[in-house]
Structure 1
Amino acid sequence: MSAWQPYLPYNALLCRYNEIATKGRNRRLFEEHLAEGLQRALGGVGQLDFRFPHGRIFALPKVPKSVFTPADLDLLRQKAHLVPGLVSVSPGFLLNPDMEEIEDAVLQHFPTVYAAFRACMPPLALTYAMRARRSDKSFPLTSEQIERHFAELLLPERPELRLDLRHANLVMELEVRSRQAFLSFERIAGAGGLPPGTGGRVLALLSGGFDSPVACHQMMRRGCMVDFITFHSSPYTPPAYLTKVCTLVRKLNECQRRGRLVAVNLLPAQLAIRDHCRSRHRTVLYRRFMVRIAALVAKDFNAMALVTGDNLGQVASQTLPNMAAINDAAPIMVLRPLLTYDKLDTLAIAERIGTYAISVEPIPDSCTVFAPDDPATAVELKAILDDEASLDIPSLLKACLSGACIINVDSMRQHDYLKIHPHADDLPETPASQNDHVQPTTGEHDEMA
């Protein structure tokens, strides 16, 4: 994306993808999910008319609108990087595959583009290249001949503009197909990966920190629809914590169809752990309760896995022995997309997707309540099970779920979770440690208004 780009009356967007091209007979389904994601991200543009020639997606403004406005293009530049499955998008001109018409368009619009480019670039940066792609072999010129033709047409009148085929700062792109040609001067990066809705549903354990929102986004980039569960410890955690999490969910939902948020008060379990278990084990015991509760919600939401923002070795609960002990309590798969990430990489992604400014606000969460001064970094599962033997786990799970609610993140209205999912408190009579798999229920659940 280039900040110097001038306004041109573009009549189409060319959307590029990568992994979707490997999907064979399922490709169209993936393309339609990508088109849906782009339409959702560009809602302010109005309805788009999508076309699906082989290997590409074109998006046109719907009649009576014939070109994109400056506000439309600004929105595209702001939102494209949030669209999973989209590798890049170019606003441009959809033309007939006719050399004379293509040349007229270049001669009409290149001077405007070059004037803006020259005004903001130092002299040594004035480099140019054309990248032509001719898939219609009946077109009279090859790709190389097209590039040479326009270099000979444009460069002699602009002696300060140097040809640089590898690292040009001004790139003009042309695709020639059997039924249309597409001319563009700008390529805007997307999120890459696969579009949400193509990889199944997961439930993410979302806190107010940096890591878990980025983990959610990474799962969306792999085609997953993400619902959210968060844990608070009211009255020890402030109401502002839930407000912060709702803000994060609103931001993350810009990348997918609206995911649901469940808030659970973990305090009943935390009080019992504080009073009956060794303090060094509290962090792991808290997390075991979180994954048990999340697994019950995942069953109701038809989610196939849990997602966490765990990063190997980052904090006490995220060492290999402690993660193994936490996994033991999870009756479904636990995915950790940030497991090997460098923290700086995570923060850079948080900046890019817009969650950094929200996460940086210092508001206490459940992990800080009764936190031990010397948490164990390598627990033994037997010691954890010995601690849990002093707890009535089913009753504590019911106590936590009794105060659970589904939150509409736009209106902040709360709805009693057990009234919507009354079977959620049909819990096992013995502590969960046997890894009996929770099978997802069938059917989708409507979002609460």
Structure 2
Amino acid sequence: MHPPDADSVLVRHGELGVKSDQVRRKMEHQLADNLRAMLDARDLPGDIDQRRNRLFIHTDHPEGVTAAAADTFGVTSASAVATTDPTLSEIADTLAETTREQYDGGTFAVEARRAGPPSAHPFSSSDIESTGGTAVGETITDMGGEPVVDLDEPDFELFVECRADKAYVFCEKRAGPGGLPLGTQRPVVALVSGGIDSPVAAWKLMKRGAPVIPVYVDLGDYGGPDHRARARSTVETLAAYAPGHDLSLSVVDAGDVVADLSEDLGSLRMLALRRFMLAVAEAIARERDAVGIVTGEAIGQKSSQTSANIAVTDAATTLPVHRPNLTVDKSEITDRARAIGTFEDSTIDTGCNRVAPSHPETNASLEAVRAAEPDDLLDRAEARARDRAVVPIES
């Protein structure tokens, strides 16, 4: 929902505003670049105007551009706005026009924010709300309604942001993902299985500004074509949030490794497999100048994810392993997967269920796992990482 004469989209960011001027400017430039890439990917026209703590996208497609901005990391909210002169009369007229177009009954409220020194305008934010509220109320009366103000939970809310040179009227704040612009942090390798958890974890690292390098460890006959297709599909969904950034999927063949571990390791085989995967991720990270690994693990969700077993698997890598789902309940992870669009492709039964032993170890020691696993397991991981296939992913 937007004013009838909406000509721009107001883009807000959060944490960037508390950074030093040098860092803030750098991050705002990255955000502008990411917005440009997002618009290009969706074939939407728009000219991006950077201002301190705000960006404006001037466009004749306000609805589509608002949706695109609201999918961009670093954006806290976006609003399609009608631009007008920063005078009480012009603001009131624009509020009245918007009411005639969009009001369909119920209570209303006007919320205003005036930016700049007191000398910038001969009125206050309260004056805008009072004058604007009167204009809206009169318009509702002219439409045959009965104007009732509700400042707490209005059915119809209008907003005004008044700056020194222009004022902006809007009737919606569409929430964005927040976080930091993608590309403002160093990259990390994301181990993706295509299950519910790992794409959510990768998305959360992207939200904090870190590009991800997706890696899928192919389980061979223990996974199968559905397992591989699911992993690729979830990465394609993640790539839609990151146009302009390379999310090509690295596929590492490990079918024979899984077969060997399943035959020889008994209750410890899932831990050895996790260690193999982390070693693969570290080898790729070194090659790609990445600084960490991200997984979808949560404490206690699976036998290999107990606090004791995580300590055992982490010993296979010298890089930090980021687990943004670590303390999150499965229901919350599932809700996030639905919200970002990865849930549907993540719900095919996972092939690694065939790898898991009937009675897995939940309190392993590093010494026991090292003694049981093949001596060359981590060396094989590095070799397989070098021989991996890279699948281009369209953003």
Unaligned runs of 5+ in 2: none
Task: Judge conservation of contact 1:247–1:409 (CA < 8 Å) in 2.
Answer: no
Q: Does 2:114 match 1:134?
A: yes
Structure-2 residue corresponding to 1:370: 355
Structure-1 residue corresponding to 2:296: 309
Q: Does 2:216 match 1:230?
A: yes
Structure 1 residue 75: Cα displacement? 6.0
Task: Find the partner of 1:88 among 53, 77, 96.
Answer: 77
Q: Secondary structure at the match of 1:52?
A: strand
Task: Judge conservation of contact 1:16–1:86 (CA < 8 Å) in 2.
Answer: yes
Q: Does 2:26 match 1:29?
A: yes
Task: Judge conservation of contact 2:258–2:273 (CA < 8 Å) in 1.
Answer: yes
1:238-257 equivalent positions in 2, closer than 5 A:
238-256=224-242, 257=245
Query: For each residue in 1:155-175, what CA deviation from the matched residue of structure 2 results, as whole angstroms up to 9, or x when unmatched?
Result: 245353321112223111111
Q: Secondary structure at the match of 2:75?
A: coil
Structure 1 residue 149: Cα displacement? 1.0
Structure-2 residue corresponding to 1:346: 333
Structure-1 separation of matches of 2:69 and 2:115:
26
Structure 1 residue 250: Cα displacement? 1.2
Task: Find the partner of 1:358 among 345, 352, 355.
Answer: 345
Task: Judge conservation of contact 2:8–2:57 (CA < 8 Å) in 1.
Answer: yes
Structure-2 residue corresponding to 1:328: 315
Report the CA distance shift for 1:361/1:269 in structure 2 as closer, same or farther (over 3 A). closer
Structure 1 residue 299: Cα displacement? 0.8
Task: Judge conservation of contact 2:190–2:214 (CA < 8 Å) in 1.
Answer: yes
Structure-1 residue corresponding to 2:255: 267
Structure 1 residue 386: Cα displacement? 1.1
Report the CA distance shift for 1:268/1:331 in structure 2 as closer, same or farther (over 3 A). farther
Structure-2 residue corresponding to 1:386: 371
Structure-1 separation of matches of 2:382 and 2:305:
27
Q: Does 2:136 match 1:154?
A: yes
Task: Judge conservation of contact 2:239–2:394 (CA < 8 Å) in 1.
Answer: no
Task: Judge conservation of contact 2:96–2:135 (CA < 8 Å) in 1.
Answer: no
Q: Does 2:195 match 1:206?
A: no
Structure-2 residue corresponding to 1:258: 246
Amino acid at match of 2:130: R
Amino acid at match of 2:175: A
Structure-2 separation of matches of 1:306 and 1:135:
42
Report the CA distance shift for 1:249/1:52 in structure 2 as closer, same or farther (over 3 A). same
Structure-1 separation of matches of 2:24 and 2:383:
46
Structure-2 separation of matches of 1:394 and 1:152:
72
Structure 1 residue 318: Cα displacement? 0.6
TM-score (norm 1): 0.81
1:428-447 equivalent positions in 2, closer than 5 A:
none
Q: Percent identity?
A: 29
Task: Judge conservation of contact 1:85–1:192 (CA < 8 Å) in 2.
Answer: yes
Structure-2 residue corresponding to 1:447: none
Report the CA distance shift for 1:6/1:57 in structure 2 as closer, same or farther (over 3 A). closer
Structure-1 separation of matches of 2:215 and 2:146:
58
Structure-2 separation of matches of 1:207 and 1:387:
25
The alignment yields a C-alpha RMSD, in angstroms, of: 2.0
Task: Find the partner of 2:271 among 269, 281, 284.
Answer: 284
Structure-1 separation of matches of 2:2 and 2:77:
19
Q: Does 2:33 match 1:60?
A: no
1:159-174 equivalent positions in 2, closer than 5 A:
160-174=146-160
Structure-1 separation of matches of 2:109 and 2:214:
46
Structure-2 residue corresponding to 1:443: none
Structure-1 residue corresponding to 2:161: 175
> How many residues are paired up?
385
Q: Secondary structure at the match of 2:217?
A: strand
Structure-1 residue corresponding to 2:44: 46
Task: Find the partner of 1:408 among 388, 392, 395.
Answer: 392
TM-score (norm 2): 0.91
Unaligned runs of 5+ in 1: 62-66, 119-125, 412-449
Structure-1 separation of matches of 2:218 and 2:347:
18
Structure 1 residue 359: Cα displacement? 0.8
Q: Does 2:386 match 1:397?
A: no
Task: Judge conservation of contact 2:226–2:348 (CA < 8 Å) in 1.
Answer: no
Structure-2 separation of matches of 1:171 and 1:194:
28
Amino acid at match of 2:391: I
Task: Judge conservation of contact 1:82–1:254 (CA < 8 Å) in 2.
Answer: no
Structure-2 separation of matches of 1:134 and 1:289:
57
